[in-house]
Amino acid sequence: MSEGGALAAVAAGGAVGSLGRWGLASLASGAVWGTLLVNLSGAFAMGLLVTWLARRVPHPLARPFLAVGLLGGWTTYSGVALDAHGLVGDGLLGLLGYLVTTLGVGVGAALLGLVIGDRLWHSNAVADEIVAEGEL
């Protein structure tokens, strides 16, 4: 796989993911819950993707397009930081609730995606190796 091909796959996936996130944020009227929804759904989708890719010999551009580009563009840490800053004025309890939900439920969503993916695609240890090696 050429570096240019991988770069184009990441860019194309990132454009699609970012446009989807922008569309959802528009529907959510800028509420912080739009950011939470994209991050939780992205974590879940990443778990599914890892197990799906582990059972196949994917096209060499699948991981750059789907994991780095699409899901990287769909999810956003910078959005979490901005939303958290906006919640500071609403009190500590709301801010902490949002951050704990984002981080805690986000990790849970990724694990749920891995478990469901394992069951759907009868995965094996390869998915765990992909995660451990940081290939996504």
pLDDT at 32: 80
DSSP code of residue 60: T
Question: Could you tell me the residue ranges of all domains in the chain?
Answer: 3-133
pLDDT in tens, the chain (136 residues): 688 999 999 999 999 999 999 998 888 876 788 888 899 999 999 989 988 888 888 899 998 999 999 999 999 877 788 788 889 988 999 999 999 999 999 999 999 998 898 888 876 666 666 666 555 5
**Residues 6+ away with beta carbon under 8 Å from 50:** 113, 114, 117, 127, 130, 131, 136
Count of positions (residues) in the chain: 136
**Residues 6+ away with beta carbon under 8 Å from 51:** 113, 114, 116, 117, 118, 120, 121, 123, 127
